[in-house]
């Protein structure tokens, strides 16, 4: 129940800001969440025995959230600066892992959350749709897996996850997505609703497994302890980090 209460306390505030808050306030919210997630990511990197990202990486991530029109230049400079800073490591064997971990982390966290801003710019309802897919799917998968899970989904990455939970989560996301888009974005066809909902959920499930791989490689159970019942912010948003860019990509294609 702690997991549910945490979600019930956080979700209304996030939804209120996403739907009705001024743009600057939503940007502050996204930036704050991104910084918390990146801090936890840095802890995972350190637990792998790799020098963690420093202050310059946090600054680059924030810049990625606000820069418009020169993203390719910014990403190129990020990779180059990460390599320059990593070259200062006392052990040269750490240069490549440190530079790679920094570049990946900025794109993984800040780059993915940038699409929360892009989706809201399209319509706040698209943002709520992308987030709601994983809230509905993750919650259903968790409880369905505990009650009915018999067949392991990916035992090396996340031993607690089951095919039964995964399919239940997909069904919940489809139900939420089809109904939500039908109510708030009715111009989207039935086929498009199903494709968007299924793709967003499946991307989110992959995001969950990828974050589990990072944690298990570092022998960690959770990315942090700030969210009772969930672990850390990165644990809560691992699905959304994959779903947000996926939904945005499909919007561009469709």
List average pLDDT for each run of 10 residues in the chain, which is 254 residues long: 63 88 96 97 96 94 91 90 88 92 97 97 96 92 87 88 94 97 95 97 96 94 79 92 97 90
pTM: 0.93
Give the pLDDT of residue 5: 60
73: its two tokens: 């230049």
Give the pLDDT of residue 9: 73
How would DSSP label each residue in 218-250? Answer: TT-S-S-SSBTTTBSHHHHHHHHHHHHHHHHHH
Q: Do 197 and 240 meet the contact criterion of CB atoms below 8 Å apart?
A: no
- Rounded to whole angstroms, the Cα distance separating 131 from 1 reads 21
Give the pLDDT of residue 2: 58
- Rounded to whole angstroms, the Cα distance separating 20 from 99 reads 39
Give the pLDDT of residue 8: 67
What are the C-alpha distances in Å from 254 to residues 39, 184, 251?
35, 17, 5
Give the pLDDT of residue 32: 97
Give the pLDDT of residue 133: 94
């Amino acid at each position: 129940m702690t997991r549910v209460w945490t979600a019930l306390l956080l979700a209304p505030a996030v939804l209120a800001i996403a739907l009705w808050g001024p743009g600057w306030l939503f940007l502050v919210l996204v930036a704050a969440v991104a910084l918390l997630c990146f801090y936890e990511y840095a802890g995972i990197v350190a637990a792998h025995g790799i020098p963690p990202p420093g202050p310059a990486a946090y600054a680059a991530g924030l810049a990625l959230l606000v820069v418009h029109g020169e993203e390719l230049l910014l990403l190129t400079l990020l990779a180059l600066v990460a390599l320059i800073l990593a070259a200062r490591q006392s052990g040269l064997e750490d240069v490549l892992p440190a530079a790679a971990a920094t570049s990946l982390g900025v794109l993984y966290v800040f780059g993915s959350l940038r699409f929360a801003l892009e989706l809201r710019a399209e319509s706040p309802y698209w943002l709520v749709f992308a987030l709601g897919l994983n809230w509905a799917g993750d919650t259903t998968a968790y409880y369905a897996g505990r009650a009915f899970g018999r067949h392991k989904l990916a035992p090396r990455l996340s031993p607690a996850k089951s095919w039964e939970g995964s399919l239940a989560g997909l069904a919940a996301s489809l139900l939420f997505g089809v109904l939500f888009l039908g109510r708030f974005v009715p111009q989207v066809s039935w086929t498009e609703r199903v494709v968007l909902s299924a793709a967003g959920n499946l991307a989110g499930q992959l995001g969950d497994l990828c974050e589990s791989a990072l944690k298990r490689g570092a022998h960690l159970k959770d990315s942090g302890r700030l969210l009772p019942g969930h672990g850390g912010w990165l644990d809560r948003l691992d699905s959304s980090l994959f779903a947000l860019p996926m939904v945005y990509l499909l919007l561009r294609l469709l």
